[in-house]
Amino acid sequence: MKYIRLNGRMTFEPKHFEEVAKICHINAEDARQHPGLLEYSFWANAAKDTIYIHEHYADNDALINHLNNMNSGAVTRLLELVTLGTMECAAEDCPETRAALEAFGSPVNYYTPLARR
């Protein structure tokens, strides 16, 4: 499968912003080593209580590789601090992708290709 786009939001108490931001930087730095991960970015709102996440992968293998090679300590701590919102996944339907994403425990909306340039 080609090109997977994944978007989501994390909410948290503003008092945790600095720690959450630090973990996002750790995860982004680690992700630079993951082949096929085309974009992995975090965007904070002005209230510093929500971070929007945008991920873009070359294919299903890149997504699975990224999830299997994330910094487990950083991810564990992040999940203690935040509440994950519903994720939005634009990709061709793939059971492996579904299983990998649903392991995080938050709802996922899937969108399959309709038209492309």
pLDDT (0 to 100) of residue 113: 85
pLDDT band for 13, please (50, 70, 90 cuts).
very high
Whether residue 116 lies inside any domain: the answer is no
Calculate mean pLDDT across residues 35-64.
96
**Beta pairing partners, 108:** 87
Mean pLDDT of the chain: 93
The whole-number pLDDT of residue 1 equals 55
pLDDT value at position 2? 79
φ/ψ (deg, to 5) at 86: -65, 135
Amino acid identity of residue 101, one-letter, is L
The secondary structure of 3-54 as a DSSP string is EEEEEEEEE--GGGHHHHHHHHHHHHHHHTTSTTEEEEEEEE-TTSSEEEEE
Residue 82 resides in a domain: yes
Instruction: Write the pLDDT tens digit of every residue in 67-96.
Output: 999 999 999 999 999 999 999 999 988 888
Q: How many separate domains does the chain show?
A: 1
- What is the mean predicted confidence (pLDDT) over 28-40? 95
Range of the domain at 16: 2-111
- We report the CATH number of the domain holding residue 104 as 3.30.70.100
The pLDDT of residue 117: 76
- Residue pair 115/96 in contact by the 8 Å Cβ criterion: no
Please give the model's pTM, rounded to 2 decimal places.
Answer: 0.89
3-state SS class at 78? helix
In a domain, 10, yes or no: yes
